[in-house]
Amino acid sequence: MRRTRRVRGIGAIPASFVLCAAATAALAAAGCGGPAHAPGGGGYAGLTADARITAENAAPLTAVALGIGTGLDAFIGRATAGTTKAGEDYGPLPPLPLSVPPPVHAKALHVAQAAENADVLGFDYLVPGPAGGQVRVYGTLWPDGTGALVTAFEAYGRGDGYTLDGNVSYLIVARDASNGRITAMDIRLSAFAVADAAADLLLDGAIAVSSTTPGRVENRLDLEGLDRVSGKAFRYSDFLLVRAAPAGGAPAEDVAGEAFEGAAGRLMVATDAPVAYSAGVPVGGGPVRLFGAEGTAARVTPRSDGTAQIAVDEDGDGGFESVRDLAWDSIR
């Protein structure tokens, strides 16, 4: 079971979630990409027309563009072992999320190695949740380190107030055997829910992960979701999130693509330069640019003091009618 011993993944999910954009297909046994499927089969229920950006909605639209406060940013950062907004150290892309203990702590249902090649590993085991429920982990790993794994959660209580339900699968496409790094992987989520007493985030879709260079991870999102407490819907479509953590340097990320906020509609998002983070807060780089209906736009510039300047072009004439500074904690 040595190939599944290193485990990293989902970290703490914020108690409050905001609209965020997402896109991807439902969890499958293999492959990545394709049309998005809706959480719980209901589909993205928000607006799809281009959003009109205003001074009033620029902050929540910024939160969508950067995944702030949704819990999605924490899932992506840890599930793909890219740099998180808390500035965690970069590590190899993992086959399993942190919530799943290594096999040594599990109740094995079936573990078999092919007689002709002892390095081909098929496994199927159950892990009880520290606070109730269970997760079933099963799949096959090949001698080159590639393979497919599925984690099927059933009311899995993590013991920290959060409960996980639904499926997350990992298709490990490529691995650099010289240093043990997974360099390409597809992650698929099917009716995957993360809930606590205050929030209940439901996700369906896919994240295509590529990491050809240590310290740099590209995540292409086709994902949609719903906060079942607030009723807020979101979607990302062909949305590229690139996270980098150079040795000795600060973590940074670039974003580009389509983001949908349920109450406003579709945005195009891009960054002029990577946004730098410190202790989970943007502190430099950018700006992040949002483009909406009829030329409306916003320019969001992170400041080193933990605030952001948000400038909004409400009439599409190329000028900014509204400019204000906000603390990141208020951008939700």
Q: What is the DSSP letter of 317?
A: S
Instruction: Round to whole Å and give the CA distance between 265 and 58.
Output: 12
Token digits for 163? Answer: 């409960």
Instruction: Categorize the per-residue pLDDT at 123 as very low, low, confident or very high, splitting at 50, 70 and 90.
Output: confident
What is the per-residue pLDDT for 201?
A: 85
Q: Which one, of 191, 205, 261, lies nearest residue 233 by Cα?
A: 261
The model's pTM:
0.75
The one-letter amino acid at 208 = A
In the predicted model, is pLDDT for residue 80 greater than 60?
no
Q: 272 in the Ramachandran plot: left (φ > 0), alpha (ψ -120 to 50) or beta? A: alpha
Give the three-class secondary structure for 216: strand
Q: Which of 61-65, 71-75, 100-104, 197-201 has the highest mean pLDDT?
A: 61-65
- Per-residue pLDDT, averaged over 27-46, amounts to 44
**Residue 173, beta-bridge partner list:** none
Backbone φ and ψ for 165, nearest 5 degrees, come out as -140, 155
Q: Does residue 316 surpass a pLDDT of 50?
A: yes
Structure tokens belonging to residue 26: 């439902």
DSSP state of 273: S
Question: CB atoms < 10 A from the CB of 229, how many?
Answer: 15
Q: Which residues contact 17 (CB under 8 A, 6 or more apart)?
A: 69, 70, 71, 199, 201, 227, 229, 230, 232
**192: pLDDT strictly greater than 50:** yes
Report whether pLDDT(36) > 50.
Answer: no
Q: How far apart are CA 319 and CA 66, in angstroms?
A: 24
Q: Which among 207, 194, 171, 168 has a CA at the least distance from the CA of 36?
A: 207
Query: What's the average model confidence in pLDDT over 304-332?
Result: 93
Which of 185 and 10 is assigned the larger pLDDT? 185
Model confidence band, residue 256 (pLDDT cutoffs 50, 70, 90): very high
Residue 317 or residue 108, greater confidence: 317
**Res. 297: pLDDT tops 80:** yes
In this structure, are residues 300 and 306 in contact, taking their beta carbons and an 8 Å threshold?
no
**pLDDT value at 118 more than 60:** no
Whether the per-residue pLDDT at 89 is higher than 80: the answer is: no
Residue 228's pLDDT is what?
A: 85
User: Phi/psi zone of residue 7: left (φ > 0), alpha (ψ -120 to 50 degrees), beta?
Assistant: beta
Under 8 Å between Cβ of 230 and 30: no
Residue 111, pLDDT score: 53
Q: Let me know: does 40 contact 222? Beta carbons within 8 Å.
A: no
The pLDDT of residue 312 is above 80: yes
* Arithmetic mean of pLDDT over the chain: 74
Task: Please report the pLDDT score of residue 72 as a whole number.
Answer: 60
Q: Give yes or no for residue 106 having a pLDDT over 70.
A: no
Q: Does the pLDDT at position 193 exceed 80?
A: yes
d(CA 210, CA 218): 5
Lowest mean pLDDT among 21-30, 160-169, 207-216: 21-30
Q: For residue 221, what is the enclosing H or E element?
A: strand 216-227
Band of pLDDT at residue 249, cut at 50, 70 and 90: confident
Closest CA to 276 of 125, 116, 83, 79: 83
Q: Percentage of the chain surpassing pLDDT 90?
A: 35
Mean pLDDT of 281-296: 94
Residue 87 above 70 pLDDT?
no
Mean pLDDT along residues 314-321: 96
pLDDT at 260: 93
Position 31 scores a pLDDT of: 27
List Cβ neighbours of 147 (8 Å cut-off, separation of 6 or more): 3, 95, 121, 139, 140, 141, 172
Long-range Cβ contacts of 130-134 (<8 Å, 24+ apart): 130/157, 130/158, 130/159, 131/157, 131/158, 131/159, 131/163, 132/156, 132/157, 132/163, 133/157, 133/163, 133/164
Calculated CA dihedral for residues 311, 316, 321, 325, nearest 10 degrees: -10
- Backbone torsions φ then ψ of 68, nearest 5 degrees: -75, 130
